[in-house]
Structure 1
């Protein structure tokens, strides 16, 4: 699966992924003015154009990256793992995604609602899930 930022300076290639998830946490909503619609890569993606990427440490356990040439949000990465949460908008040529889940559903503001039926996890449910795996959120 191949994608790129708005200006094309950053390209990303990952394994084929067919599911999309939404995050309603405050950081994601501030980062992109709405929920983060993303695909989860279980392996580190092949990213080219590193000289156009700015990485921001958004918490003690994660970082976010964007193209500083065009401003496209690229990914959320949990430190110490190979998992990357990539903005689905990078992958414009793929139309067969299945919208499967929403996290931080208890942080979602009332002014929008998705019609899709998905799995919905609250902040606490998500943190409990990570704790069972021995990971930070």
Structure 2
């Protein structure tokens, strides 16, 4: 696992995710489900399908929709990933990793569900929920 460019760990370090894909962009989801799950917008890196896990016995998976599941540590509750079932892509919260200065926020999705009480100043690609569903349901 040492040859992988990124590792993510839960708060209690019972689970480690090793990510093969290089990360240069972050994405923000404002959907009501992500905000309910984490108490705010979910800021993630798209990590592809080649993600390996140490401490699998400490991972709980919750099927939050027909197309995705969310993973969290059974011991400390850390949110570990959003996993898109059809493609197998993992989206890992940015706060679980040490990322280089070159990483930037590239997009915001479900922008139409973003509440009024926060605003990011970054210039990003913004997509409504309908636009996201149309784009990814065709894939």
Q: Secondary structure at the match of 2:46?
A: strand
Aligned mate of 1:6, from 6, 11, 15: 11
Which moves more between the two structures, 108-117 or 75-84? Answer: 75-84
Distance 1:22 1:93, change over 3 A: closer
The answer on 1:130 being equivalent to 2:136 is yes
**Who is 2:56 aligned against?**
50
Please, which runs of 5 or more residues in structure 2 have no aligned partner?
A: 1-5
Partner of 2:37: 31
Give unpaired runs (5+ residues) of structure 1: none
TM-score, scaled relative to structure 1: 0.92
| CA distance in structure 2 between the aligned counterparts of 1:93 and 1:81, rounded to whole angstroms | 24
The yes-or-no answer on 1:117 pairing with 2:115 is no
CA RMSD across the alignment: 1.2
Distance 1:11 1:108, change over 3 A: same
The equivalent of 2:105 in structure 1 is: 99
Find the residue that maps to 2:135 and give its secondary structure. Answer: helix
Cα distance in 1, alignment partners of residues 98 and 115 from structure 2: 27
* Count of equivalent residues: 133
The TM-score with structure 2 as length reference comes to 0.91
